[in-house]
């Protein structure tokens, strides 16, 4: 399986999910997600206790509604990423049957 192709396909999910989040929960939630996403990427690349604490404090400051939307958004993103991996495996291994659950979920999410 070509990881570059897979990475490219998964990266396509971001803008679609970002648009859906913005429409459903507002720009504030999307901005919060982007702050966390960039902060954790920075933390993974260059671990730093101050940065880690800043992220923890930022999460602790979120109200319950925003926190729920952030958690839900990250969960949906990783669910879609996993579906993309399953789809890629289907292509690689030549499985002819469609992944009906993937189609149903995508229709639900993007409707």
- Sign of the alpha-carbon torsion through 93, 2, 10, 85: positive
pLDDT tens-digit profile of 40-99?
999 999 999 999 999 999 999 999 999 999 999 888 888 888 887 877 776 655 655 655
For residue 21, what pLDDT band results from cuts at 50, 70 and 90? confident
Specify the long-range contacts of residues 62-71, CB closer than 8 Å, at least 24 apart: 62/32, 66/28, 66/29, 66/32, 69/21, 69/25, 69/29, 70/29, 70/32, 70/33, 70/36
Residues 23-40 pLDDT 10s: 889 999 999 999 999 999
pTM for the whole structure: 0.71
Contact by Cβ (8 Å): 8, 85: no
């Amino acid at each position: 399986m070509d990881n570059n192709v897979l990475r490219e396909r998964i990266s396509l999910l971001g803008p679609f999910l970002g648009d859906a989040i913005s429409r459903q929960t507002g720009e504030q939630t999307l901005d919060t997600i982007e702050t966390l996403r960039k902060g954790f990427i920075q933390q993974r690349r260059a671990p730093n206790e101050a940065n880690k604490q800043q992220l923890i404090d930022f999460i602790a400051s979120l109200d319950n509604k925003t926190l729920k939307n952030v958690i839900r958004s990250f969960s949906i993103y990783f669910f879609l990423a996993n579906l993309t991996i399953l789809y890629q495996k289907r292509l690689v291994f030549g499985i002819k049957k469609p992944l009906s659950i993937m189609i149903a979920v995508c229709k639900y999410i993007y409707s």
